Amino acid sequence: MNNAADWFLMIAAGGLIAVWLFRRFYVWLHEPPASRVYRLGEGSEPDPGDETVRFLTASGYEVVSGKHRVPIEIEVDGELMQSRLFIDYVAVKDGRTWLVKTARDRMPIDWTGAGVRDKFLVYALLVPSAEGIVYADPRERWLRTITFAIGTEA
């Protein structure tokens, strides 16, 4: 190849790379913030014989997946720590998706605004596509639905 053809190929390749980089940056810059939040993957298969699954089904929910483990990496003063959040089930009712947390005897809920916020807001922020959280106690046969409206004055 002669020198002019080499330069032409180099300029064309550089131009294509520059256009590709610009497009990637443009798409990243203009994508909605919700696309950067956690998306639930495939949870475990729900056990139809499980007491909570039976209770949710009897209450009109369709349990579509079981436990989801959400890994979290935390850095405090340069020290790296690992943690995780668990979503017990994902259920659907009337076409709306709900995250399900199951009542635990050793972790009672303080049913005040601050207590509910501190316990459940993280799930609403983590998966904003969900309608809210269903807190279920299959032994006592009750459930509560929790939704958050962020930014509204009370």
Q: If the chain, 154 residues long, is cut into consecutive pieces of 10 residues, what is the mean pLDDT of each piece?
A: 82 93 85 59 79 92 89 92 92 93 88 92 88 92 92 68
Global pTM? 0.69
- Within 13 Å and on the Cβ side, how many CA atoms surround 80? 2
State the pLDDT at residue 129: 84
Q: Distance of alpha carbon 91 from its chain centroid, rounded?
A: 14
- The pairs formed by 66-70 with CB atoms below 8 angstroms and a separation of 24 or more are 67/43, 68/40, 68/41, 68/43, 70/38, 70/126
State the pLDDT at residue 27: 82
Q: Please state the φ and ψ torsions of residue 22, each to the nearest 5 degrees.
A: -60, -45
The Cα–Cα gap between 48 and 50 comes to 6
State the pLDDT at residue 121: 92
